[in-house]
Amino acid sequence: MQTDSAAIEQLLFIMTQLRDPEHGCTWDKVKSFATIAPYTLEETYEVVDAIERQDFAALKEELGDLLFHSVFYAQIAKEQKLFDFNEICQIVSQKLISRHPHIFAGQSIINIDKAIYDWEKNKVKERAAKNQHSVLYDIPQVLPALMQVNKMQKRCAAVGFDWDKFAPVLAKVHEEIEEVLAEINKSEPSQSHIEEEIGDLLFAVVNLSRHLGHEPELALQKACRKFEHRFRRVEKLILNKGGSLENATLDEMEKLWQQIKKE
């Protein structure tokens, strides 16, 4: 079996061969940062999917695909004399050391909440050193909205803009629900205002999820899988009775839905 360093060296060598201008792969040698990015996003979701399914053989393969993308970007950067794979490893190592003083700088052992808080505080210092003085600087706009909101809230919490108790977090959710209803019940409701209030409600729900220690994106993905599983069961039960979804009433489907929930 290869050593870790030998395996990495082999992967880097394969990448240089794939990108060789004369003898490289027709597909690989013409790719750029921008044209690979959509595939990277797809690979990331495939990693998450394998974890959700607890398919660890698939996870090993998907992590390999994701690593290949990192190597791919590094090779393009090396060709353009921007940076190389070693520099990527060095910068992430430096970052991990600076953000874990309780491990590498002899500081006292701390609990997980304090470790997360210090991690965010250290990131604030790093951004300040780069003249990135807003805590919301560099949050990717291409992130799914739930992840984007969660990241914004964590950044703000790191500088003290956050509730330290659960009650006002939950109260804010109820407040936003009331504001949605108030807008809907107006004599001439504005669709743009309704959309705005729904956005505020979703923002508050993300905050609730964060305070309870859950990633909202993953929570919603699980809700989607649960809904899909239950609705497929509804479909199957209706078909088994010789019916069809087109002819089934809402009451019939609701009764089956409640039956499946009890199961």
Domain-wise residue ranges, the chain: 4-98, 110-216, 218-262
98-142 pLDDT, tens digit each: 878 778 877 666 666 666 667 667 777 776 767 766 888 778 888
Please report, for residues 5, 144, 197, 255, the alpha-carbon distance to residue 210 in angstroms, rounded to integers and kept in the order given.
Answer: 38, 16, 20, 34
**Axis crossing angle, helix 85-98 with helix 112-129, rounded to the nearest 10:** 120
Rounded Cα–Cα distance for residues 71 and 84 (Å) = 9
Q: Which residue has the tokens 């609990």?
A: 111
Please report, for residues 2, 173, 211, 220, the alpha-carbon distance to residue 39 in angstroms, rounded to integers and kept in the order given.
Answer: 28, 36, 33, 23
57-86 pLDDT, tens digit each: 999 999 999 999 999 999 999 999 999 999
Task: Tell me, yes or no, if the pTM score tops 0.85.
Answer: no
For residue 188, pLDDT over 80 is answered with yes
| Candidate from 1-10, 12-21, 41-50 with smallest mean pLDDT | 1-10
pLDDT-derived band at 197 (thresholds 50, 70, 90) equals: very high
CB atoms under 10 Å from CB of 194, counted, come to 15
Determine phi and psi for 47, rounding to 5 degrees. -65, -50
208-260 pLDDT, tens digit each: 999 999 999 889 988 999 999 999 999 999 999 888 888 999 999 999 999 99
Class of the domain covering 4-98 = mainly alpha
CATH code reported for the domain at 110-216: 1.10.287.1080
